[in-house]
Amino acid sequence: MDSLNIVILAAGKGKRMYSSMPKVLHPVGGEPMLARVIRTARGLSPSRLVVVYGHGGDQVRERIADSDIIWAEQAEQLGTGHALKMALPYLSADGKTLVLYGDVPLTKMSTLQRLVEAAGEGMAVLTDVLDDASGYGRMVRGADGKLQAIVEHKDCTPEQLAIREINTGMMALPNARLAGWLAALNNGNAQSEYYLTDVLELAVKDGVTVESTSVDASWEAAGVNNKLQLAELERILQANQARTLLEAGVTLADPARIDIRGEIQHGMDVSIDVGCVFEGLVELGDNVEVGAHCVLKNVKIGAGSKIAPFSHLEDAVVGGACKIGPYARLRPGAELAGHVHIGNFVEVKKSKIGDGSKVNHLTYVGDAEIGRKVNIGAGSVTCNYDGVNKFKTVIGDNVFVGSGTLMVAPVTLERDSTIGAGSVVSKNAPAGELTVARARQVTVPGWKRPEKKS
C-alpha cells in the first residue's frame, strides 16, 4: 500500500494583510484558512500530515493544536522548495507527498484525490487556465504536449509570458525522489529563492512521468495575500454554501444575503430570510422559519418554530412550535420546551422554560426553572445575582406573574400561584394563592402640588 504524506506550506509572512495575526489564521467561513486546508487534507487519510510554519509560529501552533500534526519549522522563508525541504525529515521513504498551501482554503477534496491519482508512480501538478496569468508560474509544454518545466512569472521570456496555463502550486511527488531533487535546487533566479517548481525539470531529466490535472473552478486554487482576496473567497464560499442549501430544498429569500460560518443541518421546508448569520452547528427542524437579520450560533430549533427578525440565539435549545422574537435574545443554557413564546426585548440565560409558557415583553430570565403554562408579565426580572453569587428562581406550572415583578432569588413561586403586578418577591409564594408584595396604595386627601410664584 502506497502511503500518502501531506505537507502544507504555511510559513509565508502575509505582510499585505497588515495584521498582527499570522495570515493562515485569518478565517474564511468562520474557520482559520489553515484549519480548512487541514480538514480537507484529513479527508484523504494521509499517513503523515506536516505543516511547515514560520512567521507567528507559536500563535499558529497554539490555535491549531491537533495532536496528529507534525510541525516543521522554516525559520527563514527562502522559497517553496526550501520550505518542503524542512518537512523532508518527517516524510516516509516511499509513497507520495501531496503539497498544499495554507493560504489556499477552498480546494475540493475530490480535486486533490484526482491529483494524487494522476501522479501514479511519478509526479503530477494541479493546474488552471487563466485569462490573466500574471504573477503565476507558467506550465511550459513541448511540441508533444508533455510538460517540460514551470517557469515563474519573473523568470519568463516574452513568449512564456503568453502562456495561460498556470501552476496552482499544489502537486504530488514521489517520496523516493524527493531528497535528491530538493538537494539539487539552487536559487539562481529572479527572486533568489529555492523554487519547488524546479523539481518538474528534474523529474523530466530523471525520466519520471509528469502529469497534470486541472481544477474544476479557479476559486479552488485561489490564494489569499490581502484582505481583498480574503473577502472575495468569503463570498465564493458563502455562494457555494447557499447553493448547497437551495439544492437540498431550503428556501432562501436571497442566496447572496446569508452567512454560514459553520454548518446548518436542516429538515424539510425550512425558510431563511435575508441577512442571517449562522455560526457553529445550527440544527433547524422541519418547517422552521428564520426571520430577517437573526444571528444563530450553536442552536437547535424544533420543528415548526418561528424565529422573528433581529433575534440573537447562542448555545440554546428551542423546542417545536415556539415563537421567538422579534428582538429576542437567548443566551447560553436557554432550554425551551415546545410551544413557548419569547417576545421582544426578552433575555433568557441558563434557564429551562416548560411547554406552553410565555415570556412576551421586556423581561430578564436567568438561572430559572420555569414550569408549563406559565405567564410572565412585561418588565419582570429574576434578580439572580448579588454581585458575587448566582441564585436560582423556581416557578411551578401554571403560575401567573404580574407585570413589573422582581423575583429576588433564591425564591420559589409554587404551582398555580399568582403574583400581583409590581411585586418584589423575596420569599416563597405558596401554591394556588395570590401573593402581592408591594406598598399599599394611599391617597392623601387635599394635597396640593407646589406652584411657581408668578
User: Which position has the grid cell 479557479?
Assistant: 218
Distance in Å from the first CA to the final CA of the chain = 104
What kind and span of H or E run contains 179? helix 175-184
User: Residue 16 in 3-state DSSP?
Assistant: helix
Shortest distance, position 103 Cβ to Ca ion, whole Å: 7
Shortest distance, position 179 Cβ to Ca ion, whole Å: 26
Query: How many angstroms separate the CA atoms of 67 and 72, rounded?
Result: 14
In the complex with Ca ion, the residue whose CB is nearer, 223 or 326, is 223
Residues lying near ligand UD1 in the complex (CB under 6 A): 9-12, 52, 74, 77-80, 82-83, 101-103, 136-137, 150, 152, 166-169, 195-197, 223
Supply φ then ψ for residue 171, to 5 degrees: -155, 160
In the complex with Ca ion, the residue whose CB is nearer, 12 or 304, is 12
In the complex with ligand UD1, the residue whose CB is nearer, 130 or 292, is 130
Supply φ then ψ for residue 421, to 5 degrees: -55, 145
Judge whether 202 is annotated as a binding position: no
Active site members:
361
Shortest distance, position 152 Cβ to ligand UD1, whole Å: 6
Q: Which of ligand UD1, Ca ion, none does residue 396 bind (CB under 5 to 8 Å by kind)?
A: none
Shortest distance, position 126 Cβ to ligand UD1, whole Å: 10
Judge whether 57 is annotated as a binding position: no
What kind and span of H or E run contains 98? strand 96-101
Tell me the three cell numbers of residue 370. 420555569
Judge whether 292 is annotated as a binding position: no
> Angle at Cα 216 formed by Cα 214 and Cα 218, nearest 5°?
85
Which of 251-264 are b and which e, b meaning 16 or more Cβ less than 10 Å from the residue's Cβ?
ebeebebbbbbbeb
Judge whether 23 is annotated as a binding position: yes
Q: Which of Ca ion, ligand UD1, none does residue 364 bind (CB under 5 to 8 Å by kind)?
A: none
User: Which position has the grid cell 506550506?
Assistant: 9
Judge whether 103 is annotated as a binding position: yes
Q: Which of ligand UD1, Ca ion, none does residue 30 bind (CB under 5 to 8 Å by kind)?
A: none
Q: What is the DSSP string of 387-429?
A: SS-B--EEE-TT-EEPTT-EEESSEEE-TT-EE-TT-EE-SPB
Shortest distance, position 112 Cβ to Ca ion, whole Å: 18
Shortest distance, position 133 Cβ to ligand UD1, whole Å: 9
Residue list 187-226, contact with Ca ion (CB under 5 A): 223
Note if the bond before 32 is cis, omega within 30 degrees: no
Judge whether 9 is annotated as a binding position: yes
> Angle at Cα 414 formed by Cα 409 and Cα 417, nearest 5°?
110
Closest residue by beta carbon to ligand UD1: 137
Q: How is residue 310 annotated by DSSP?
A: S
**Sign of the alpha-carbon torsion through 145, 149, 150, 156:** negative
Judge whether 195 is annotated as a binding position: no
In the complex with Ca ion, the residue whose CB is nearer, 223 or 255, is 223
Do residues 175 and 238 lie in contact, with contact meaning Cβ atoms separated by under 8 Å?
A: no
**Sign of the alpha-carbon torsion through 198, 36, 38, 59:** positive
Closest residue by beta carbon to Ca ion: 223
Residue list 220-259, contact with Ca ion (CB under 5 A): 223
Q: Which of ligand UD1, Ca ion, none does residue 82 bind (CB under 5 to 8 Å by kind)?
A: ligand UD1
User: Residue 345 in 3-state DSSP?
Assistant: strand
Q: Which of 224, 222, 225 is nearest to 240 (CA)?
A: 222
In the complex with ligand UD1, the residue whose CB is nearer, 13 or 390, is 13
In the complex with ligand UD1, the residue whose CB is nearer, 138 or 358, is 138
Q: Which of Ca ion, ligand UD1, none does residue 305 bind (CB under 5 to 8 Å by kind)?
A: none
Tell me the three cell numbers of residue 318. 428551542
Question: Known binding site: residues?
Answer: 9-12, 23, 74, 79-80, 101-103, 137, 152, 167, 225, 331, 349, 364, 375, 378, 384-385, 403, 421, 438
Binding footprint of Ca ion on the chain (CB under 5 A): 223
Question: Known binding site for acetyl-CoA: residues?
Answer: 378, 384-385, 403, 421, 438
